[in-house]
Structure 1
Amino acid sequence: MSVKDRMNMMKGILADNPSKKIPEAEASDGALMSTAPKKGTQTAPGGMLAFRSQLQQHEATVKSLEAKLAQYADGVRTIKLEASLVDESKWANRHSSSFDTAAFDRFKDEIAHAGGNIQPILVRPVASRYEVVFGHRRFKACKLLGLPVLAMIAEMSDEELFTLMDRENRERADLSPFEQGEMWRKAIDEGLFSSARQLASHVGVSNVHVTQCMSVARLPSFVLELFANPTEIQVRWAKAINDQLQADPELLTDRSAKIKALGKNFSSSKIFEMLVRDDKGSTKLHSSPLKHEGKVVGKISRGADGEVSVSIKPGFLSVAAFSNLEKLLADLIGK
Structure 2
Amino acid sequence: MTEGLKERIQRLEQALASADQRGETLLAELAQARALAEKAGGEADEFLFLSPDLISDSLPRDRMRSAFAGAEFDALLEDIRANGQNDPVTLRRAGEGKFEIAAGRRRLEACRVLGRAVLARVRPLDDAAMLRIQFSENERREDISALERARWFAEVKSRLNIQAKDVAAQFGLDPSTLSLYLRLARFPQEIMERLRDPRRLAVLRARRVMEALDADPLAFQRIVEALDAQKDPDPDEQVTVLLRAAEGREARRSTARAPQPDRRHVVHDGLRIGTLTRNGGQWMFRFATSIPEDVVHTIADRLPELMPPMPKRERGKISAEE
| TM class by smaller structure | 0.5 to 0.7
SS in 2 for 1:270: helix
**Cα shift readout 1:190-221 (whole Å, capped 9, x = no counterpart):** 2x151222111101121122222333332122
**Cα shift readout 1:24-77 (whole Å, capped 9, x = no counterpart):** xxxxxxxxxxxxxxxxxxxxxxxxxxxxxxxxxxxxxxxxxxxxxxx9556522
**Mapped partners of 1:73, 1:202: distance in 2:** 31
SS in 1 for 2:252: coil
1:127 is aligned to 2:95:
yes
**Mapped partners of 2:142, 2:189: distance in 1:** 26
Q: Residue 246 of structure 1: CA displacement? A: 2.2
> Match of 1:152?
121
User: Structure 1 residues 233 and 214 mapped into 2: Cα distance closer, same or farther (>3 Å)?
Assistant: farther
User: Structure 1 residues 265 and 185 mapped into 2: Cα distance closer, same or farther (>3 Å)?
Assistant: farther
Amino-acid identity (%): 23
SS in 2 for 1:141: helix
Q: Which runs of 5 or more structure 1 residues have no equivalent in the other structure?
A: 1-22, 24-70, 285-335
**Mapped partners of 2:82, 2:228: distance in 1:** 44
SS in 1 for 2:44: coil
User: Structure 1 residues 193 and 170 mapped into 2: Cα distance closer, same or farther (>3 Å)?
Assistant: farther
Pairing partner for 1:216 from 184, 197, 200: 184
Q: Residue 108 of structure 1: CA displacement? A: 1.8
Once superposed, what is the RMSD of the aligned Cα atoms? 2.9
**Mapped partners of 2:190, 2:75: distance in 1:** 34
The answer to whether the 8 A contact 1:178-1:214 is kept is: no
Alignment of 1:251-330 (within 5 A): 251-259=218-226, 262=229, 264-266=231-233, 267-278=238-249, 281-283=252-254
Q: Residue 263 of structure 1: CA displacement? A: 6.5
**Mapped partners of 2:226, 2:191: distance in 1:** 10
* Count of residues in Structure 1 that have an aligned counterpart in Structure 2: 214
Q: Residue 257 of structure 1: CA displacement? A: 4.4
SS in 2 for 1:186: helix
SS in 2 for 1:272: helix
User: Structure 1 residues 280 and 119 mapped into 2: Cα distance closer, same or farther (>3 Å)?
Assistant: closer
> Match of 1:171?
140
**Mapped partners of 1:258, 1:106: distance in 2:** 33
**Mapped partners of 1:84, 1:120: distance in 2:** 16
Q: Which runs of 5 or more structure 2 residues have no equivalent in the other structure?
A: 5-38, 256-322
**Mapped partners of 1:258, 1:108: distance in 2:** 35
SS in 2 for 1:205: coil
**Mapped partners of 1:95, 1:196: distance in 2:** 23
Q: Please, what TM-score do these two structures have when normalized by structure 1?
A: 0.56
